[in-house]
A = this chain, B = another copy of it.
Amino acid sequence: MALDTFVPVAPGSDFPLENLPFGVFSRRRQSGGDPSCCCGRVGVALGEHVVDLGTLSEAGAFTGPMLSGADCFRKGSLNEFMALGYAAWQEARTTLTRLLSSAEGVLRDDRTLQEKILIPQSEVTMHLPARIGDYTDFYASKEHATNVGTIFRGKDNALQPNWCHLPVAYHGRASSIVPSGTDVKRPRGQTLKPGSTQPHFVPSAVVDFELEMGAFVGPGNQLGSPIPIESAKEHIFGIVLLNDWSARDIQKWEYVPLGPFNGKNWATTVSPWVVTLDALEPFECPAPVQEPPVLPYLREQHRTTYDVQLEVQIQPRDSSEAAAVSASNLRHLYWTFPQMVAHHTSSGCNLRPGDLLGTGTISCEDGPGSLLELSWAGQRQIAFECGGSTHNRCYLMDGDTVILKGHCAGPNGRRIGFGECRGRVLPDDSQC
């Protein structure tokens, strides 16, 4: 059932009134000014606009018990709002849904206030949604783990013995997480030439994307107090698209025995709009059956995930168009976000508001989420049509822009969208 708003929302927009994803924006100065200014504010996306929650809150719009006294929107990050927990998120959603609906006059009939709080998205710069204290990247897709395992160890030993028993993960690098639209630079690092045992230090020759989603943590837990699986969902604020850029040659040489390091710590891109679980609720669906059964601390009463259609596009340097190179879906992910939270904290590890949990590459049967899989470790090129010519790729070329998209498809063309997670690969600029 579509909700009506007095704000114009085009059919098929990622951001109808049912979505209301949260993000942090700053207004671009009319002329000059620092485009990277970080003194952001919290907003929600609606059609082609951002609704400025900082100003709306100053205007006294949030009168509910959780938010009337809180100062969580005139901030450059969502951390404070995330920390407040579900009651506050629900109150914000309810308040905004009412205020922005066609049936409610308070904002609809107040042109002056509308002018202040409705800003075209074309006039804002989007920032990271949160100060990310810690970033964890999981390895939760069975298809991805199987593909990678088959490439490196053969079909018979594809999945490691632990894989079906726990959501494998590693700690990622928080400092190099950047918002969509940030250029990333081809990293240099140690790699082995085929057949050689002596590493050399060169620009990576095999730069890849990884199609992932990321969950932002809401309320955290105290060190030493695990979050039980039953309440794990309450600790998740919402979800974004995530591109875990990977330099496969650097990773391959460095990762034994302590895992990926420089192969991945040079950039991770996230989409700026955090879609809440409430917005995703209509698209809840069963998660894959787990066999063998998991241990009790990972066992879910209602094992659900979300039907999020995902796509990867590449836009080559001289092309004005992007072409799809793969498609996948969050619903195939073997491990769910609540299982990630329960496992992560089962040791006593503390999560903090704003922490980010990446799913790992989301591959499905016909939709690998990385070029490593698409090119089967560089053994076959993929071809795509774009701007009237054919492009071939094993891995990313300088100037390639990678665009991740995601949405849930509802009835009548309505959708809950994630916007996009975009980044362009710049050439290495060293003299080496």
Contacts and interface: CB of A to CB of B under 8 A. Distances in A.
Interface string A344-370: 101111111001000000000000000
Interface in A146-160: 160
Nearest to A160: B256
Interface in A199-224: 199-201, 220, 223-224
A219 B147 CA distance: 41
Given A200-B295, A295-B190, A347-B247, A162 B256 contact: yes
Interface string A261-273: 1110111000000
Contact of A349 (B171, B176, B223, B253): B176
Given A160-B257, A223-B267, A295-B200, A262 B346 contact: yes
* Residue from the set A170, A257, A351 with the largest chain B CB neighbour count within 10 Å: A257
B199 A162 contact: yes
Interface of A is mostly: loop
A264 to B, nearest CB: 9
A430 to B, nearest CB: 8
Contacts of A257: 160, 168, 255, 259
B261 A169 contact: yes
B351 A253 contact: no
Contacts of A255: 257-259
A235 interface: no
A185 interface: yes
Interface in A235-278: 247, 250, 253-263, 265-267
Contact of A185 (B168, B224, B296): B224
Contact of A169 (B197, B258, B426): B258
Contacts of A393: none
A23 interface: no
A348 B346 CA distance: 33
A139 B258 contact: yes
A300 B346 CA distance: 43
A165 B190 contact: yes
Contacts of A343: 262
Give this chain's copy count: 2
A178 interface: yes
30 contacts: A133-B133, A133-B174, A134-B174, A139-B258, A162-B254, A168-B254, A168-B257, A168-B258, A169-B258, A169-B261, A170-B259, A171-B172, A171-B261, A174-B174, A175-B349, A175-B355, A176-B348, A176-B349, A178-B223, A185-B224, A188-B226, A188-B346, A189-B346, A255-B258, A257-B259, A258-B260, A262-B346, A265-B344, A266-B347, A266-B349
Given A166-B190, A170-B170, A262-B349, 7 more contacts: A165-B190, A168-B254, A178-B223, A189-B347, A259-B260, A262-B343, A263-B347
A201 B349 contact: no
A134 B355 CA distance: 12
A173 B171 contact: yes
B170 A201 contact: no
